[in-house]
Protein backbone atom coordinates (compact mmCIF):
# COMPACT_ATOMS: atom_id res chain seq x y z
CA UNK A 1 0.00 0.00 0.00
CA UNK A 2 1.26 3.45 -0.89
CA UNK A 3 1.21 6.05 1.87
CA UNK A 4 2.39 8.90 -0.32
CA UNK A 5 0.73 10.63 -3.23
CA UNK A 6 2.31 13.28 -5.41
CA UNK A 7 -0.24 15.99 -6.08
CA UNK A 8 1.86 18.12 -8.40
CA UNK A 9 5.37 18.21 -9.82
CA UNK A 10 6.99 21.61 -10.34
CA UNK A 11 7.43 22.70 -13.93
CA UNK A 12 10.64 24.59 -13.11
CA UNK A 13 12.55 22.20 -10.78
CA UNK A 14 12.50 18.66 -9.34
CA UNK A 15 10.22 19.86 -6.51
CA UNK A 16 7.02 17.99 -5.72
CA UNK A 17 3.91 18.76 -3.67
CA UNK A 18 2.47 15.67 -2.03
CA UNK A 19 0.42 14.18 0.78
CA UNK A 20 1.81 11.63 3.22
CA UNK A 21 -0.82 9.54 5.01
CA UNK A 22 0.00 8.53 8.59
CA UNK A 23 -2.02 6.86 11.39
CA UNK A 24 -2.67 10.31 12.93
CA UNK A 25 -3.66 12.03 9.71
CA UNK A 26 -2.28 13.40 6.46
CA UNK A 27 0.74 15.68 6.08
CA UNK A 28 1.02 18.07 3.17
CA UNK A 29 4.55 18.12 1.74
CA UNK A 30 7.01 19.75 1.45
CA UNK A 31 6.83 20.16 5.20
CA UNK A 32 8.96 21.59 7.99
CA UNK A 33 8.74 19.56 11.21
CA UNK A 34 9.49 21.39 14.49
CA UNK A 35 11.71 19.41 16.86
CA UNK A 36 10.45 18.45 20.32
CA UNK A 37 13.32 16.32 21.55
CA UNK A 38 11.96 15.60 25.04
CA UNK A 39 8.33 15.40 23.98
CA UNK A 40 8.04 19.20 23.89
CA UNK A 41 9.02 21.83 21.34
CA UNK A 42 10.96 24.02 23.74
CA UNK A 43 8.84 26.83 25.24
CA UNK A 44 5.79 26.18 22.99
CA UNK A 45 2.50 24.48 23.90
CA UNK A 46 0.72 22.07 21.54
CA UNK A 47 -1.88 24.83 21.09
CA UNK A 48 0.82 27.23 19.86
CA UNK A 49 2.00 24.58 17.40
CA UNK A 50 -1.52 23.96 16.23
CA UNK A 51 -2.09 27.71 15.73
CA UNK A 52 0.98 28.05 13.49
CA UNK A 53 -0.08 25.05 11.38
CA UNK A 54 2.55 22.59 12.51
CA UNK A 55 1.43 19.36 10.87
CA UNK A 56 3.86 16.99 12.54
CA UNK A 57 6.50 17.25 15.25
CA UNK A 58 9.64 15.27 15.95
CA UNK A 59 10.66 13.64 19.15
CA UNK A 60 13.71 11.64 20.11
CA UNK A 61 13.95 7.96 20.97
CA UNK A 62 17.30 8.20 22.77
CA UNK A 63 16.06 10.86 25.17
CA UNK A 64 12.60 9.40 25.81
CA UNK A 65 13.83 5.81 26.13
CA UNK A 66 16.37 6.85 28.79
CA UNK A 67 13.98 9.22 30.55
CA UNK A 68 11.15 8.51 31.39
CA UNK A 69 11.35 5.15 29.54
CA UNK A 70 9.18 3.76 26.77
CA UNK A 71 7.06 1.55 29.05
CA UNK A 72 5.94 4.54 31.13
CA UNK A 73 4.82 6.32 27.95
CA UNK A 74 3.08 3.20 26.64
CA UNK A 75 1.21 2.76 29.93
CA UNK A 76 0.21 6.44 29.87
CA UNK A 77 -1.59 5.76 26.60
CA UNK A 78 1.21 6.46 24.10
CA UNK A 79 3.19 9.56 23.22
CA UNK A 80 0.36 11.45 21.48
CA UNK A 81 -1.93 11.25 24.49
CA UNK A 82 0.85 11.80 27.03
CA UNK A 83 2.07 15.05 25.42
CA UNK A 84 -1.43 16.11 24.25
CA UNK A 85 -0.48 16.32 20.59
CA UNK A 86 -3.08 14.53 18.45
CA UNK A 87 -1.34 15.07 15.10
CA UNK A 88 1.49 13.00 13.58
CA UNK A 89 4.79 12.45 15.40
CA UNK A 90 8.10 11.26 13.95
CA UNK A 91 10.69 9.86 16.33
CA UNK A 92 14.35 9.89 15.47
CA UNK A 93 16.10 6.64 16.37
CA UNK A 94 18.57 8.22 18.76
CA UNK A 95 21.57 6.90 16.87
CA UNK A 96 22.82 10.47 16.51
CA UNK A 97 22.51 11.12 20.27
CA UNK A 98 24.23 7.85 21.20
CA UNK A 99 27.24 9.14 19.32
CA UNK A 100 27.05 12.81 20.26
CA UNK A 101 25.96 12.69 23.92
CA UNK A 102 26.95 9.46 25.60
CA UNK A 103 30.26 9.33 27.43
CA UNK A 104 31.24 5.85 26.34
CA UNK A 105 30.05 3.68 23.47
CA UNK A 106 31.00 0.40 21.89
CA UNK A 107 29.64 -0.72 18.55
CA UNK A 108 29.24 -4.39 17.74
CA UNK A 109 27.24 -6.12 15.02
CA UNK A 110 24.47 -6.56 17.59
CA UNK A 111 24.07 -2.88 18.40
CA UNK A 112 25.65 -0.14 20.44
CA UNK A 113 26.42 -0.21 24.16
CA UNK A 114 26.70 3.19 25.78
CA UNK A 115 26.58 5.12 29.02
CA UNK A 116 23.62 7.44 29.61
CA UNK A 117 24.50 11.14 29.65
CA UNK A 118 21.94 11.55 32.46
CA UNK A 119 23.11 9.14 35.15
CA UNK A 120 25.97 7.11 33.66
CA UNK A 121 23.90 3.90 33.54
CA UNK A 122 24.79 1.38 30.83
CA UNK A 123 22.43 0.62 27.92
CA UNK A 124 22.39 -1.47 24.78
CA UNK A 125 20.44 -0.20 21.76
CA UNK A 126 19.85 -2.75 19.02
CA UNK A 127 18.01 -2.36 15.70
CA UNK A 128 15.13 -4.31 17.26
CA UNK A 129 15.01 -2.52 20.64
CA UNK A 130 14.92 0.88 18.95
CA UNK A 131 11.86 -0.25 16.95
CA UNK A 132 10.30 -1.58 20.18
CA UNK A 133 10.74 1.81 21.90
CA UNK A 134 9.03 3.58 19.01
CA UNK A 135 6.31 0.95 18.90
CA UNK A 136 5.67 1.67 22.59
CA UNK A 137 5.54 5.42 21.90
CA UNK A 138 3.04 4.83 19.08
CA UNK A 139 4.77 7.31 16.81
CA UNK A 140 3.58 7.65 13.23
CA UNK A 141 7.01 7.56 11.59
CA UNK A 142 9.82 5.50 13.07
CA UNK A 143 13.49 5.77 12.20
CA UNK A 144 15.92 2.84 12.35
CA UNK A 145 19.12 2.74 14.42
CA UNK A 146 22.02 3.99 12.30
CA UNK A 147 25.51 5.40 12.62
CA UNK A 148 25.62 9.04 11.63
CA UNK A 149 29.21 9.34 10.38
CA UNK A 150 30.73 12.60 11.63
CA UNK A 151 32.51 15.12 9.44
CA UNK A 152 35.31 14.86 8.53
CA UNK A 153 35.72 11.08 8.19
CA UNK A 154 37.95 8.99 5.96
CA UNK A 155 36.51 6.83 3.22
CA UNK A 156 37.49 3.75 5.19
CA UNK A 157 35.72 4.93 8.38
CA UNK A 158 32.64 5.97 6.40
CA UNK A 159 32.47 2.61 4.58
CA UNK A 160 32.82 0.73 7.88
CA UNK A 161 29.99 2.75 9.49
CA UNK A 162 27.85 2.27 6.41
CA UNK A 163 28.26 -1.52 6.40
CA UNK A 164 27.02 -1.70 10.01
CA UNK A 165 24.22 0.79 9.35
CA UNK A 166 23.00 -1.20 6.34
CA UNK A 167 22.97 -4.41 8.37
CA UNK A 168 21.10 -2.70 11.24
CA UNK A 169 18.53 -1.21 8.86
CA UNK A 170 17.93 -4.57 7.22
CA UNK A 171 17.28 -6.10 10.66
CA UNK A 172 15.04 -3.18 11.62
CA UNK A 173 12.99 -3.53 8.41
CA UNK A 174 12.47 -7.27 8.92
CA UNK A 175 11.42 -6.76 12.53
CA UNK A 176 9.10 -3.85 11.64
CA UNK A 177 7.37 -6.07 9.02
CA UNK A 178 6.87 -8.81 11.62
CA UNK A 179 5.04 -6.35 13.91
CA UNK A 180 2.44 -5.62 11.24
CA UNK A 181 1.89 -2.11 12.65
CA UNK A 182 0.33 0.86 10.82
CA UNK A 183 3.34 2.92 12.00
CA UNK A 184 5.63 3.78 9.08
CA UNK A 185 9.34 2.98 9.07
CA UNK A 186 11.72 5.09 6.99
CA UNK A 187 15.17 4.05 5.80
CA UNK A 188 18.19 6.34 6.34
CA UNK A 189 20.80 6.75 3.61
CA UNK A 190 24.33 7.22 4.99
CA UNK A 191 27.71 7.28 3.26
CA UNK A 192 29.13 10.61 4.41
CA UNK A 193 30.63 12.87 1.78
CA UNK A 194 31.44 10.00 -0.62
CA UNK A 195 29.02 9.79 -3.58
CA UNK A 196 29.85 6.14 -4.36
CA UNK A 197 29.14 5.17 -0.73
CA UNK A 198 25.84 7.04 -0.92
CA UNK A 199 25.09 4.96 -4.05
CA UNK A 200 25.92 1.77 -2.17
CA UNK A 201 23.58 2.80 0.65
CA UNK A 202 20.70 3.72 -1.67
CA UNK A 203 21.03 0.46 -3.62
CA UNK A 204 20.80 -1.65 -0.45
CA UNK A 205 17.96 0.34 1.09
CA UNK A 206 15.74 0.40 -1.99
CA UNK A 207 15.55 -3.40 -1.72
CA UNK A 208 13.97 -3.01 1.72
CA UNK A 209 11.02 -1.22 0.09
CA UNK A 210 10.17 0.94 3.13
CA UNK A 211 7.44 3.64 3.21
CA UNK A 212 9.94 6.53 3.14
CA UNK A 213 13.60 7.41 2.62
CA UNK A 214 15.75 9.80 4.63
CA UNK A 215 19.11 11.34 3.85
CA UNK A 216 21.16 11.28 7.05
CA UNK A 217 24.72 12.28 7.78
CA UNK A 218 24.45 15.79 6.36
CA UNK A 219 24.50 19.02 8.38
CA UNK A 220 27.11 17.43 10.63
CA UNK A 221 29.56 20.32 10.38
CA UNK A 222 30.53 20.08 6.72
CA UNK A 223 30.70 23.22 4.56
CA UNK A 224 27.75 24.00 2.31
CA UNK A 225 29.78 23.21 -0.83
CA UNK A 226 30.08 19.62 0.45
CA UNK A 227 26.46 19.34 1.61
CA UNK A 228 24.73 20.54 -1.56
CA UNK A 229 26.43 18.09 -3.96
CA UNK A 230 25.51 15.17 -1.66
CA UNK A 231 21.85 16.31 -1.61
CA UNK A 232 21.84 16.80 -5.39
CA UNK A 233 23.52 13.43 -5.96
CA UNK A 234 21.42 11.35 -3.57
CA UNK A 235 17.88 12.76 -3.79
CA UNK A 236 17.04 11.82 -7.42
CA UNK A 237 18.13 8.22 -6.77
CA UNK A 238 15.52 7.74 -4.05
CA UNK A 239 12.23 6.14 -5.05
CA UNK A 240 10.07 8.70 -6.85
CA UNK A 241 6.83 7.51 -5.24
CA UNK A 242 8.08 7.64 -1.62
CA UNK A 243 8.56 10.65 0.69
CA UNK A 244 12.13 11.93 0.98
CA UNK A 245 13.31 13.38 4.26
CA UNK A 246 16.49 15.44 4.69
CA UNK A 247 17.51 15.12 8.33
CA UNK A 248 18.64 18.06 10.45
CA UNK A 249 18.69 20.77 7.78
CA UNK A 250 16.68 23.91 8.52
CA UNK A 251 18.05 27.22 7.25
CA UNK A 252 15.55 28.79 4.82
CA UNK A 253 18.06 28.89 1.94
CA UNK A 254 18.95 25.20 2.52
CA UNK A 255 15.29 24.20 2.49
CA UNK A 256 14.67 26.05 -0.76
CA UNK A 257 17.66 24.33 -2.40
CA UNK A 258 16.72 20.84 -1.21
CA UNK A 259 13.04 21.16 -2.15
CA UNK A 260 14.14 22.03 -5.70
CA UNK A 261 16.14 18.76 -5.69
CA UNK A 262 12.99 16.81 -4.75
CA UNK A 263 13.16 16.62 -0.93
CA UNK A 264 9.77 16.55 0.86
CA UNK A 265 10.44 16.68 4.61
CA UNK A 266 12.74 18.61 6.96
CA UNK A 267 13.45 18.94 10.66
CA UNK A 268 15.83 21.17 12.54
CA UNK A 269 16.38 22.49 16.07
CA UNK A 270 17.59 25.82 14.67
CA UNK A 271 14.37 27.90 14.84
CA UNK A 272 13.94 27.30 18.57
CA UNK A 273 17.67 27.29 19.38
CA UNK A 274 18.28 30.55 17.51
CA UNK A 275 15.21 32.09 19.14
CA UNK A 276 16.58 31.31 22.60
CA UNK A 277 19.67 33.26 21.58
CA UNK A 278 17.60 36.15 20.25
CA UNK A 279 18.29 35.38 16.59
CA UNK A 280 15.25 35.73 14.36
CA UNK A 281 14.41 34.87 10.77
CA UNK A 282 12.87 37.69 8.75
CA UNK A 283 12.04 38.21 5.09
CA UNK A 284 14.97 40.65 4.95
CA UNK A 285 17.50 38.40 6.72
CA UNK A 286 18.48 37.56 10.28
CA UNK A 287 17.63 39.98 13.10
CA UNK A 288 19.42 40.05 16.49
CA UNK A 289 16.87 41.32 18.99
CA UNK A 290 19.37 42.39 21.66
CA UNK A 291 20.89 45.03 19.38
CA UNK A 292 20.71 48.55 20.85
CA UNK A 293 18.96 49.83 17.71
CA UNK A 294 15.76 47.98 18.70
CA UNK A 295 15.49 49.56 22.18
CA UNK A 296 12.65 51.89 21.21
CA UNK A 297 11.66 50.31 17.88
CA UNK A 298 7.83 50.11 17.65
CA UNK A 299 7.86 47.73 14.64
CA UNK A 300 7.22 43.98 14.91
CA UNK A 301 10.09 41.51 14.25
CA UNK A 302 8.94 41.21 10.64
CA UNK A 303 6.19 43.57 9.41
CA UNK A 304 5.20 40.94 6.82
CA UNK A 305 4.77 38.15 9.40
CA UNK A 306 1.29 37.19 10.59
CA UNK A 307 2.31 35.23 13.70
CA UNK A 308 0.92 36.05 17.16
CA UNK A 309 4.23 37.64 18.21
CA UNK A 310 4.44 39.94 15.20
CA UNK A 311 0.77 40.93 15.30
CA UNK A 312 0.93 41.90 19.01
CA UNK A 313 4.42 42.93 20.12
CA UNK A 314 7.09 45.49 19.20
CA UNK A 315 10.81 44.85 18.82
CA UNK A 316 11.24 47.24 21.74
CA UNK A 317 9.16 45.09 24.11
CA UNK A 318 10.65 41.81 22.84
CA UNK A 319 14.15 43.21 23.33
CA UNK A 320 13.23 44.20 26.89
CA UNK A 321 11.95 40.67 27.64
CA UNK A 322 15.09 39.15 26.15
CA UNK A 323 17.49 41.44 28.04
CA UNK A 324 15.59 40.81 31.30
CA UNK A 325 15.83 37.04 30.61
CA UNK A 326 12.05 36.74 30.93
CA UNK A 327 10.67 33.29 30.02
CA UNK A 328 8.06 34.89 27.77
CA UNK A 329 10.85 35.99 25.43
CA UNK A 330 11.66 32.33 24.69
CA UNK A 331 8.03 31.57 23.88
CA UNK A 332 7.35 34.63 21.73
CA UNK A 333 10.63 34.44 19.80
CA UNK A 334 10.36 30.66 19.25
CA UNK A 335 6.78 31.07 18.09
CA UNK A 336 7.91 33.55 15.44
CA UNK A 337 10.87 31.48 14.19
CA UNK A 338 8.95 28.19 13.94
CA UNK A 339 6.02 29.96 12.27
CA UNK A 340 8.46 31.58 9.86
CA UNK A 341 9.91 28.26 8.66
CA UNK A 342 6.53 26.53 8.44
CA UNK A 343 5.19 29.43 6.36
CA UNK A 344 8.35 29.55 4.27
CA UNK A 345 7.89 25.91 3.22
CA UNK A 346 4.11 26.31 2.85
CA UNK A 347 4.72 29.18 0.42
CA UNK A 348 7.04 26.99 -1.66
CA UNK A 349 4.33 24.31 -1.71
CA UNK A 350 1.82 26.88 -2.94
CA UNK A 351 4.27 27.90 -5.66
CA UNK A 352 4.71 24.28 -6.78
CA UNK A 353 0.93 23.87 -6.95
CA UNK A 354 0.64 27.08 -8.98
CA UNK A 355 3.52 26.25 -11.35
ZN1 LIG B 1 6.29 36.65 13.38
pLDDT at 328 over 80: yes
Torsion of the alpha carbons at 86, 89, 94 and 96, rounded to the nearest 10: -130
pLDDT at 246 over 80: yes
- pLDDT category at 228 given cuts 50, 70, 90 is very high
Distance from Cα 337 to the centre of ligand 1, integer Å = 7
Active site (annotated) includes residue 92: yes
β-pair partners for 310: none
Of 79-83, 93-97, 238-242, the poorest mean pLDDT is in: 93-97
Distance from Cα 288 to the centre of ligand 1, integer Å = 14
pLDDT at 175 over 80: yes
User: Mean pLDDT for the chain?
Assistant: 97
Packed helices 252-260 and 327-354: angle between N→C axes, nearest 10 degrees: 20
pTM for this structure? 0.98
- pLDDT category at 104 given cuts 50, 70, 90 is confident
pLDDT 10s digits, 176-186: 999 999 999 99
pLDDT of residue 338: 98
Question: In angstroms, what CA-CA distances link 213 with 142, 233, 244, 262?
Answer: 11, 14, 5, 12
Q: Check if the beta carbon of residue 242 is closer than 8 Å to that of residue 213.
A: yes
Mean pLDDT of the region 251-265: 98
Mean pLDDT of the region 316-333: 98
Residues within 5 Å of ion ligand 1 by Cβ? 305, 307, 309-310, 336
pLDDT 10s digits, 277-309: 999 999 999 999 999 999 999 999 999 999 999
Distance from Cα 281 to the centre of ligand 1, integer Å = 9
Question: In angstroms, what CA-CA distances link 54 with 58, 155, 253, 257, 345?
Answer: 11, 39, 20, 21, 11
pLDDT of residue 100: 85
Task: Check 136, 146, 267, 302 and give the catalytic one.
Answer: 267
β-pair partners for 19: 5, 28
Task: Check 51, 92, 199, 351 and give the catalytic one.
Answer: 92
Chain centroid to Cα 29, Å, comes to 14
Q: In CATH, which of 3.40.50.10800, 3.40.1390.10, 3.20.20.105, 3.40.50.850 is domain 31-267?
A: 3.20.20.105
Distance from Cα 335 to the centre of ligand 1, integer Å = 7
Active site (annotated) includes residue 267: yes
pLDDT at 119 over 80: yes
pLDDT 10s digits, 37-72: 999 999 999 999 999 999 999 999 999 999 999 999
pLDDT at 1 over 70: no
pLDDT of residue 99: 79
Distance from Cα 287 to the centre of ligand 1, integer Å = 12
Question: What residue segments make up the domains of the chain, in order of their start?
Answer: 31-267, 269-355
Number of H helices, E strands in the chain: 14, 16
Amino acid sequence: MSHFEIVKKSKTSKARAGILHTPHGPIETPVFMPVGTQGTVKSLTPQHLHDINAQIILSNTYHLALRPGSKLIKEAGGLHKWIAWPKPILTDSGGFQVFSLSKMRKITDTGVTFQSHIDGSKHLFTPKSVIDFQHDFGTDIMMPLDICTPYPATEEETARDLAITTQWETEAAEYWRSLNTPQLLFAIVQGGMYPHLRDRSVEALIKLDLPGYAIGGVSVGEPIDKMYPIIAHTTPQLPENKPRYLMGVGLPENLEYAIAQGVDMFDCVLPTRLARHGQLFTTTGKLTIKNEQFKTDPLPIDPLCQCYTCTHFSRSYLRHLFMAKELLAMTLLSLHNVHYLIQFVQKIRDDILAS
